[in-house]
């Protein structure tokens, strides 16, 4: 299994506020609705965010002819939220790690663990080069949410 980590991001909110918001995925529904659907489709991403399903523990988004699901599989209060990705032909998980930074700030790191089957590596090799930048952009976006 391989992994990619974001850089550490500083968040001007307490660790408890950040954990509380991110550990209940219904709190992120407004963010999904605010994503620019048209821009995503212009970039060749066939994603229909209006059909996304959100609950406390999972988000499912229809992409192309399949559904991508992000499901919380473990919570360690105030410290870490572990997600499993389903609906893709790759074993993958995403971790959000939180630490306090003073009394009114926190810091966060996002890590993606993945295992690509041997037969898919040639097809995905070019796309994997963009993964570290994408993970860092995700962490950056999460650090800018109003908590």
Residue that the structure tokens 């796309």 belong to? 127
- pLDDT category at 25 given cuts 50, 70, 90 is very high
Are the beta carbons of 23 and 72 closer than 8 angstroms? yes
Among 8, 16, 21, 22, CA closest to 104: 16
pLDDT at 20 over 80: yes
Q: Please name the CATH architecture into which domain 2-143 falls.
A: 2-Layer Sandwich (3.30)
DSSP conformation letters of 5-25: EPPPEEESS-HHHHHHHHTSG
Question: pLDDT tens across 105-133, in order?
Answer: 999 999 999 888 778 777 766 666 667 78
Mean predicted lDDT score pLDDT of the chain: 85
pLDDT in the model for residue 16 = 96
pLDDT at 135 over 80: yes
pTM for this structure?
A: 0.84
Question: pLDDT tens across 26-80, in order?
Answer: 988 877 777 665 555 555 556 767 788 899 999 998 877 778 899 999 999 999 9
pLDDT in the model for residue 106 = 97
CA geometry: angle at 123 spanning 40 and 95, to 5°?
A: 60
């Amino acid at each position: 299994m391989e992994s990619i980590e974001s850089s550490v991001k500083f968040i001007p909110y307490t660790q408890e506020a950040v954990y509380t918001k991110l550990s209940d995925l219904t709190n992120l529904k407004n963010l999904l609705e605010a994503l620019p659907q048209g821009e995503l489709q212009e970039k060749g991403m066939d994603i229909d965010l209006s059909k996304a399903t959100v609950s406390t523990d999972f988000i499912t988004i229809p992409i192309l002819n399949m559904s991508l699901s992000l499901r919380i599989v473990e919570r360690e209060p105030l410290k870490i939220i572990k997600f499993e990705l389903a609906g893709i032909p790759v074993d993958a998980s995403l971790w959000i790690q939180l630490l306090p930074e003073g009394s009114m700030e926190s810091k966060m790191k996002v890590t993606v663990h993945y295992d690509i089957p041997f037969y898919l590596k040639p097809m995905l090799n070019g796309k994997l080069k963009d993964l570290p930048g994408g993970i860092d952009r995700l962490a950056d976006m999460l650090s800018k949410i109003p908590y």
